[in-house]
Amino acid sequence: MNGKSIPKDVLEKAEKLRKEIEYHNYRYYVLADPVISDQEYDRLVHELIQLEKKYPSLVTPNSPTQRVGGTVIQQFKSVRHSKAMLSLDNTYSESQIRDFDRKVKKTLGIHSVKFVSELKIDGVSVALRYEKGILKVGISRGDGTRGDDITENIKTVRSIPLRLKERIDVEVRGEVFMPVGEFKRINKERQENGEVPFANPRNATAGTLRQLDPKIVSKRRLDSFLYHVVDASEYGLSNQWETLQWLKSIGFKVNPHSKLCESIDEAIEHWKHWSENRKNLNYWVDGTVVKVNDFHYQKLLGETSKSPRWAISFKFPSEQGTTQIVDITVQVGRTGVLTPVAELKPTEIDGTLVKRASLHNYDYISQKDIKIGDWVFVEKAGGIIPQVISVIKDKRNGTEKTISPPSKCPVCGGKVGKLHSEEVALRCLNPHCPAKLKRAIETFVSRGALDIRGMGSKFINRMVDAGIVSDIADIFHLDPFTLLSLGSGIGNKTVSNLLKEIEKAKDTPLSRLIAGLGIPLVGEKTAKILAEKFKNLLSLAEADFDTLQKIEGIGPEIARNVVEYFSNPKTQEVIGKLKKAGVRLFETENSAKQGNLSGLRFAVSGVLKSMSRNQAKELIESLGGVVTSSVSRNTDYLLVGKKPGSKLSKAQELGVKIISEEDFMKMIKKEDQQKSLF
């Protein structure tokens, strides 16, 4: 449908919904003062989404529904800044701040000057350009002269308005940052996956904004504070304090802890206060920024090629300490990753006693040349996670001991290794290791596997901690009395509903059952290939390495993992328990999807008009077709949209039939089948 065919009342309804959602976004993300419940907010967003689905031309770049782009960015474009984004001189010294004050007064020839002291957010500087109040471009700092166009990623930051309260052209600058909770959550995930945690929130934010997929950025829940207006005098602004109030009035989130200071003494007191109280904030700050308030004075003071003469960064004391490594212990994470931990001589860092520090993985130990007995620098990453930064080699006396990777899992004694050649972390390769049980059950009951609703992570933790399950198959042998024994919050109705879900899960399709087993490197897509090939879990369990690796989409690493998984005696025990419980281990005759695409293999490239690539994939599979991630001689059709990638040239080279979106729709024919996805 085009814009002309949209009824007037629909246009008005869409605009009303957008304004309501924008208002509630502002209340929630900027003012932290919501006036409706999450459920009411979700209802408004859902209503707008449904309208935009029915009338696609209603969708605008500044619609609240477009906070997360549907397509992955191919690469970032370089954009020149309208004016250079300068860095700041910095100091940790009160005496140097007073020198700064004296120099400002001497240059201006005055006896007193007002400052604005702002918290220095540990994040990433960005520039945002608006045209007639609509966000057009978001730019990273880059080298200060040019930055990357990160507009799609900026749109995912909920506190940054897509549309201002005034229809003006303006460029503003500020900081995008990662809140405390998100930093902890992401670093915990990275450690569980054997990845080195982000060293600090700035690195975490920078790494997030460099993601090519805006959906990943959206999941990390970045936030923002704005503090600068380019050519502020054009908007009737004469000083920094006025600017902060104006930014807030047109819809931006401004840090509430900035202070207008009558003298440098007040700026120093502001710094002292937040040096002691920064841990109470839900974001990291590493100092304050002291700025001359008056713009006329700023202009007179000018700037060097690198930094302004009217502002300085007043940093907080370092959160580093020195201590000695007395031993190394190994933690086994929920995914089996082995994390070496340095046991330290207790040392105080930033007011807390530190006894242990992560060494991340054994490659990290090798790169840093860390040994037991070494004296080391320890830093609290983001003020939270202690980690060894470097070795003080001058203190070595020859008694230090080399740290060797373990050959066996310290929990179960199982084999230790890497899932694939590119992996950094060592992990326990025993799929039934007790340390991995909670994660294994979460995978088994997840939506992409057996989809047992009501069995969330907290419930799983209680079951495992109570010892009522020792493997994934035990779920199917639970009874009401055992579940009720878990105690408070678990009543008859909860137990009844859960047992119904467990019973229903016994008839889960084979592909989802395979996906739920937690075989390393076997996700939903690979599980579908294996289910289609073997039709029965027992047949898959007997497959050898050569048979598996000959299957398209199953490489040697996956084949090796499958063979090792099913050769494990504990796996055979689990399969026996599943069979005894009545879980279907085979594909039924009519379980394979039939449709007018049955037996055809597709690949998809480019941006489609009427659906996303994921929707196209689901539609093809719902009609019996198969979608592969790459083009080969076995591919029947390559479906192409706008801006196709390398798959197109590969298809042309191999003589694979290339079809447009219109051709694809003609193949489907039946209109009701097309609509079933939506």
221, 186 contact by CB (below 8 A): no
The residue among 455, 504, 457 whose CA lies nearest residue 483 is 455
Residue 405's nearest CA partner among 364, 457, 442 is 364
Q: Which two tokens stand for residue 228?
A: 């600068």
Active-site residue, from 120, 371, 528, 647: 120
Do the beta carbons of residue 77 and residue 147 sit within 8 Å? no
DSSP states along 289-329: EEEESBHHHHHHH-B-SSSBTTEEEEEPPP-EEEEEEEEEE
Could you say which DSSP state residue 27 is in?
I
CA–CA separation, 582 vs 573, rounded Å?
A: 15
Element (H, E) at 42: helix 38-54
Beta strands in 432-557 (DSSP E): none
Amino acid at 601: R
Residue 148, token pair as written in the block? 């990357």
Which among 328, 259, 329 is positioned nearest to 115, based on CA atoms?
Answer: 259
The SS3 of residue 69 is coil
Q: What angle do CA 363, 368, 369 make, to 5 degrees?
A: 95
Taking CA atoms, 24 is separated from 32, 133, 204, 245, 589, in Å, by 10, 18, 28, 20, 51
- End-to-end CA distance of the chain: give it in Å, rounded: 16
146 three-state secondary structure: strand
8 Å CB contact between 71 and 609: no
Classify residue 403 by its DSSP letter.
Answer: -
Count how many residues are written for the chain. 678
CA 17/CA 46 separation, integer angstroms:
10
Distance of CA 193 to the CA centre of its chain: 14
- Neighbouring residues of 227: CB distance < 8 A, sequence distance ≥ 6: 118, 173, 174, 175, 243, 244, 247, 254, 255, 258
| Closest of 650, 659, 584 to residue 625, by C-alpha | 659
Distance CA 178, CA 162 (A): 20
- Rounded to whole angstroms, the Cα distance separating 220 from 247 reads 25
Q: Is 322 helix (H, G, I), strand (E, B) or coil?
A: strand
Dihedral angle of Cα 169, 174, 176, 177, to the nearest 10 degrees: -160
Helices (H), 200-317: 201-209, 214-219, 240-249, 264-277, 295-301
413: nearest Cα among 387, 388, 391, 434? 434
Q: Is-catalytic flag, 279? A: no
What residues contact residue 334 under an 8 Å CB cut-off, 6+ apart?
192, 435, 436, 438, 439
* Position 408, amino acid: K
- Catalytic (active-site) positions: 120
